[in-house]
Amino acid sequence: MMLKQISHDVLYRGKVIDLVVDQIEYPSGNRGVREIARHPGGAVALPLLDDGTVLLVEQYRYPLKTEILELPAGKLSPGEDPLQCARRELEEETGWSAATWESLGSIYTTPGFSDEVLHLFLATDLTKLERGPDRSEGESGMRVHRLNIKELVRKSVCGGLHDAKTLCAILLYQNREEM
């Protein structure tokens, strides 16, 4: 169904998102409002070590007022290739790099109100960097964890993980392995 845009108002331009309100018209002629968070998208790395463990980061998420366990990920810079973003975020957040990368697909995070798309990648052939992580001030309390991929799959199914991008990447990886 195509909706006709009647008006478009940018309410806020931010570092991470822009907030817009569109007045729309349905095919019936009735009108409605769509509030949208515009986001440049991002990339996620599932860094799998040779021993079957995955590198995850635990970081404080201000909107949730708690720390969560998640895969390394970050926002795309203007014009940045998603794979390059995933490489950068893996190195900055964990202090590791990967020689082999494979796409696991892309996801719409919250299509009811946002246009954010996250690109998911499997990172293998990992090497620990001598310099270590290169985190921003907001990431300074971040901690790196190593968990077995089988345990992560179990946690994904049993409610031990709550971050959507992490759940999606783990389950896409698991299904890829079973096909």
Supply the residues annotated as catalytic: 137
Is 83 within 8 Å of 120 (Cβ atoms)? no
Q: How far apart are CA 52 and CA 56, in angstroms?
A: 13
Unique residue bearing structure tokens 């009647």: 6
Rg for the chain (alpha carbons), in Å?
Answer: 18
98: left (phi over 0), alpha (psi -120 to 50) or beta: beta
- Ramachandran angles phi, psi of 91, nearest 5°: -65, -45
Q: How far apart are CA 124 and CA 127, in angstroms?
A: 9
